[in-house]
Structure 1
Amino acid sequence: MKAAIRVISDGADGAASDLATGAGSLDVVYSGLTSASALAERAWRDSDELASNYPNAMALLSNAAAAVGGQRSRARTQLYGLANLSDPERKLIGEVLGEGEVAGVVALPDGSLAQIRESVLAGIWRVRIGGEPAHEYLEVGAIPQIVRRAATDLTSADLAIGAAPDGAMNVQPVLAEIRERARVWRFGMRAHVINLTSLPMSVIDLTFLQQSMGNGPVQLIFRGYGTCRVQATRIRNVWSVQFFNSTDNIILDTLEVGSVPIVALAADEDFQDSAERMQEIIKAYFT
């Protein structure tokens, strides 16, 4: 199974996204400065000038720092709207927080798309619904709530299994396992992982599996030492999780039955680390 997603950001002035529905390649093009380079660029400025010219940005960052310090992975997320910020303040927020390793899109019931991007401070996310600044906010938590809601509300509770095509080998028992696990899974249970890489699955099997599961409303990409792509399927609580090497070849292909895959979530230790780093930024550049 191979997802198809494209997210293109053109910086503070706007963004455009294209969410594909079939198989294909997944590309995310990042733009903008990282937190370190942005702050280095502004280091010459007097802290009093920053504090006086960007009071709302400073207040928002201070509130986010306090929130992330007390956040836990299973706790409700905390939102901070950006509508009351000026364009320069929103730009400053973007430069201070930078762009982390996680980005993606969420399809909404009205046909619009929400773009999500984790900052360089794990557990602090920037979310934009459509293209309006009024619909942009920061969210502190393991994953933005919009991801969980879409994966629950815009997916089907049952998997219909059709007749396998000629040449199929093992796709029918795999689909039966997915359907049974998805039916009984409840929040709090461990995820059930099916390693497609280790199964004797033909191209016909994988194609029919993709057609049966379909693409759901959430698609995420993680770029670190390698690339990981996470996509909700059309079936509730079933996710495709794929790891790629530097040449974009799949090295691990799995299906997970459960909540949002753990690879996508900020952990408790991430929140504390982000809080400390955020306080350092505020102290160094605003006080």
Structure 2
Amino acid sequence: MEVRVFCPATIANLNCGFDVMGLCLENIGDEMIFRKTTTKGIQITKITGADLPYEVSKNVAGVAALAVIENRDIDFGIAIEIHKKIKAGSGIGSSSASAAGAVFGVNELLGKPFSKSELIEFAMKGEALASGSEHADNVAPCLLGGFTLVRGYHPLDVIKITSPEKIYAVVLHPHIEVKTVDARAVLEPSIPFHKAITQWGNLGGLIAGLYTQDYALISRSLQDVVVEPFRKHLIPHFEKVKNIAVQNGALGSGISGAGPSIFALCEGKKIAETVAEAMHTQYSKTRIPFDIYLSKINDKGVTLL
């Protein structure tokens, strides 16, 4: 009759994997509660932590939930509570957590007719409301856990990559807003051939490094020559934070999603703690408030509480 769900934050793009790569974080996320009701349909009955619409068709979670029950003959309704802990516009998958959590929770109350992989397409409907297009680079890792690669959309083809054991992520979230539409607008419609080749090589290297747990290869591959050069100017002090992370041992650092969050991947918790402290010290020199998180990679994705 009732399920409680943890909906984790995610990092998308991972420098060289623009729009196709993502990873799932362990200790950062929203919570959602789903209850069966006698009134058919989807209702959103409570929202905390964010000013979001209760109207189902205007809410990311509501739209995603509706997609799951569409054309299914069920004799009950579902009430949803949303408790947001991931700030909207933070660049760590706030809307994706809502969409992924919604489809997972509804699927549980339906008796789990869909696998987690099958739920990705439903979650993408919610993402479309938030960003204007159906994409899976955040909802896929949120649902499946670990690292994910979106190989293609027609048909949807998502590959889960289990995270190397020692990888930790550090995320610094400046309290500024970078709208996805603005982050998209600064990108060039075409890229030079030599940059495309470099980016393909880095993406292949990153995937190979993850599979073989070759941390040196992962580090060499965490380079972005296509998107970061245009977007980094939207995030104050980005270069300084990135450089200080790498100088203190990070495998690599970059923009999380469309920003403004800055992430760093590290080999081992001790290095991650050192990197987190260095990033914190560097950004404390600014007048911009921020949060900083340290997380192991979450290999399970959305889970029941």
Instruction: Compute the TM-score of the two structures, normalised by the length of structure 2.
Output: 0.27
Higher relative contact order (CA 8 A, sep 6+): 2
Structure with greater Cα Rg: 1
Instruction: Compute the TM-score of the two structures, normalised by the length of structure 1.
Output: 0.29
